[in-house]
Amino acid sequence: MRLNFFKTASLAVIFSLSSLAAQAAWQLDNAQSRLSYISIKKGDIAEINHFTTLSGEVDDKGQATLSIQLGSVKTQVDIRDQRMRDILFKTNLFPAAEFSAQLEVDKLEQLAVGAMLTLTVEGTFSLHGIEQKMPAELAVSKLNEQTLQVSSYAPLVVDARHFQLAQGIEKLRELAGLPSISMAVPVSFVLIFKQ
């Protein structure tokens, strides 16, 4: 009787673990992921900047989410980083930007190791308390059975005016003594998700 109990309990544990593994979400690996953007000043001077702290997942239904900690912005100039946090992003009020999109779960499940598929999705981008629909072209690759790569197949272009950031950019322009800073910002990313 006792032996049967342990057998039943063991089978229940194994079944539960198998179910969890089948439904496990893909979690973003921040150390291997990168999100960069290009700022353009004085008409044609381009600088590549990035954020160091990202989080997110792709769940078992294909819902992909990405959170960008705005305070982790890196522009290679400390005072500029501080101004970005305080004046532009106002990280005390809006610490993160969020992007979410629905991926085609059937295609993800059928994706073979080493294969890549391209998807065009209608995502939602939230920044500075404002949400905007944003189409995104993605390249999704299965690097191995436990690793998924989601990258921008084409850059996303974020217009600062759509998120009430124009005033902050103008203030940054004045402080830096620049004739112009572009309101349109191309964004690209390579995101690694692990199961």
Please report which helix (H) or strand (E) contains residue 108, including its range.
Answer: helix 105-110
The model carries a pTM of 0.85
Catalogue the E-assigned strands of 12-160. 26-28, 34-41, 45-51, 54-58, 63-69, 73-74, 96-102, 116-127, 130-144, 147-152, 156-159
Q: How many CB atoms lie within 10 A of CB 194?
A: 14
pLDDT value, residue 109 = 87
Q: What is the pLDDT of residues 77-101, one digit of tens each?
A: 999 999 999 999 999 999 999 999 9
**Tens place of pLDDT for every residue, the chain, 195 residues?**
544 444 443 444 344 333 333 446 999 999 999 999 999 999 999 999 999 999 999 999 999 999 999 999 999 999 999 999 999 999 999 999 999 999 988 998 899 999 999 999 999 999 999 999 999 999 999 999 999 999 999 999 999 999 999 999 999 999 999 999 999 999 999 999 999
- Please state the CATH superfamily assignment of the domain spanning residues 25-194 in this structure: Lipid/polyisoprenoid-binding, YceI-like (2.40.128.110)
pLDDT score recorded for residue 19: 34
Per-residue confidence (pLDDT) for residue 24, from 0 to 100: 66
